[in-house]
Structure 1
Amino acid sequence: MSVAITLIGGPTVLIEIDGFRLLTDPTFDDPGTYQLPHVTLEKLSRPALTADAIGDVDAVLLSHDQHADNLDHGGRAFLSRAPRVLTTEIGATRLGAPTEGLAPWRATELTKEGRSLTITATPARHGPAGIEPFAGDVIGFVLQPEEAAPIYISGDTVFYDGVAEVARRFPAKIVLPFAGAAQTRGPFHLTMDTNDTIETARMFPDALIVPVHTDGWAHFRQGAQDLRMTFDALGFGARLKLLEPGVRTMIEA
């Protein structure tokens, strides 16, 4: 089965699989700044496609709602257009209908024209151990089509035992790590850096690694080309697929 993946910008990706159209962490604003309680985030680039250009989707997969680089003003407006929005339990409480909250390992199903797609929420940790009270809850997602291998979307997480457990449960053939090595306060990163992404590749030995959330924000410390150099140097280069923003890319699942 072929999967079409279009990088819109940052964490925002349109995934077309088995007739379903899914959008991750919608961000559609122009460049600008966002004042969060403890930090100011700066967006540096426009999305490759507008919300109108994307059209209708079957669901939005929202890893978390509390940070503007994963859900900005335009992204919040887009949620009302989606028939289903899947996110964290606390995020669903904040956002209200039609948002549905999923705890890690809880699954739900999309149905369309006689086909079904199972979506399972996966654990995520938005930084080092102990960060949870400050960063808040985050989830990732596994997509399980009826007749193809799983696809794993990490959400904002570092590599830790929760990601390793996803690999043990789901032999994904496509993995989308959120891999910009985001850093705001303190010397630690809040999303995967190159080392985390390599560890993720090792845990999913049969998967093509398709990184997103690597560019477009001032608080990212590593980008797509850092991943390319690291993967090539360590012999993983053939397993890395870098997306060109706005280009619909076909990948065999």
Structure 2
Amino acid sequence: MQLELIRNATLKVTYGGHILLVDPYFAPRHSLPSFTGRSPNPMTELPHEIDDILEGVELVIVSHLHTDHFDAVAKERLPKSLPILCQPGDEEKIRESGFTNVSPLTQSTVWQGLTITRRQGSHGVGPVVEKMGQVIGFTLVASGEPTIYWAGDTVLYPPVAETIREVSPDIIITHSCGARWDSDLIVMDAEQTIEVSHLAPRATIVATHMEALDHATVTREDLRQAADTGGIAPSRLLIPADGETLHLA
């Protein structure tokens, strides 16, 4: 399989002979408001032209409708006939933007030989979850491919650990920037990412959703230092740069 980090949570995944795009966030650098007053968002530019990112894409997965996961530029630039999988409850809002092939991922679906299964996520813990709203993760399974668990915008909490135990994924993709809202952690930070590595000692962890938004509290360098301190080898915890492509067996 091939995994290209575009920016933030946006991934282009070549898997089972197909190309998937996850959580498209195409806004130009500094074109959206700040979350904390530190910087307009996104803080980085796209590494490629949007047409190049969209080349070959056959399926889009939208985990939730926060603007850093499905923004106005993506709604404008994505072909309206592209199939989109989303969490239940978001399908009508996506259709309102003109998309004609939108399906909620209620449990598990098979698309072109790929088994895509919805997984629980919690965009924080406690009262902040009501502000953040519902989110999903997913697993990907295909013949001859590694099993992938894309955790999404979630903290490490019991259902995430349960998914890791149940699925035994070969690759786990985390959102590891330690973003906070009203001081509450809303995605994994360095400590939780290291804990994921310990929960899945045979898996490769790919840390994404980093250095693009101003409410993040963990940089790539911070995470690498924490991994070194925690005894996690660089080959087990990959922290790709924007635009970097990983080839994973």
Q: Which amino acid aligns with 1:101?
A: P
Give 1:196's aligned residue.
Answer: 192
Q: Which residue of 2 is the match for residue 183 of structure 1?
A: 180
User: Hey, what's the Cα distance between the residues in 2 that align with 1:83 and 1:213?
Assistant: 24
* Aligned counterpart, 2:90: 91
Other-structure match for 2:155: 158
Is 1:14 matched up with 2:7?
A: no
Gaps of 5+ in 2: none
Partner SS state of residue 231, structure 1: helix
Deviations 1:196-226 (A, max 9, x none): 1112212222111111101111111112111
Paired with 2:84 and 2:77, the residues of 1 have a C-alpha distance of: 10
For the 8 Å contact 2:116–2:138, the answer to whether it is kept is yes
Where do 1:6-155 residues align within 5 Å? 6-34=4-32, 42-54=41-53, 55-65=55-65, 67-81=66-80, 83-96=82-95, 97-103=100-106, 106-111=107-112, 116-155=113-152
Deviating more after overlay: 158-167 vs 53-62: 53-62
Aligned partners of 2:248 and 2:17: how far apart in 1? Answer: 15
Query: For residue 108 of structure 1, what is the amino acid of its counterpart?
Result: T
CA distance in 2: counterparts of 1:61 and 1:206, whole angstroms:
26
Q: 1:89 is paired with a residue of what secondary structure?
A: coil
The yes-or-no answer on 1:173 pairing with 2:179 is no
Per-residue displacement from partner, 1:75-98 (whole Å, max 9, x unpaired)? 222443563211111111321242
Which digits, 9 at most, give the CA deviation of each residue in 1:28-65, with x for residues without a partner? 111235469x9887211111122200213121121101
User: d(CA) in 1 for partners of 2:196 and 2:119?
Assistant: 14
1:214 aligns with 2:215: no
Partner Cα distance (2:85, 2:218) in 1: 28
The answer to whether the aligner puts 1:228 opposite 2:224 as a matched pair is yes
Query: SS where residue 89 of structure 2 aligns?
Result: helix
Aligned partner letter, 1:98: N
With over 3 angstroms needed to count, the CA separation of the structure-2 counterparts of 1:82 and 1:60, relative to structure 1, is: farther
Distance 1:75 1:39, change over 3 A: farther
Secondary structure at 2:20's aligned position in 1?
Answer: strand
Structure 2 Cα separation of the partners of residues 77 and 64 of structure 1 = 17
Q: Is the 8 A contact 1:58 1:82 kept in 2?
A: no
Tell whether the 8 Å contact from 1:33 to 1:43 is kept in structure 2 after alignment.
yes
Q: Given the two structures, how large is their TM-score scaled by the length of structure 1?
A: 0.88
Task: Give the SS at the match of 1:177.
Answer: strand
How far apart in 2 are the matches of 1:78 and 1:23? 13
Q: Percent identity?
A: 27
Task: Write the distance in 2 (CA, Å) between the matches of 1:14 and 1:175.
Answer: 15
The number of aligned residues is: 241
- Give distance in 1, aligned partners of 2:109 and 2:36: 34
Q: State whether residues 128 and 184 of structure 2, in contact with CA within 8 Å, keep that contact through their aligned partners in structure 1.
A: no
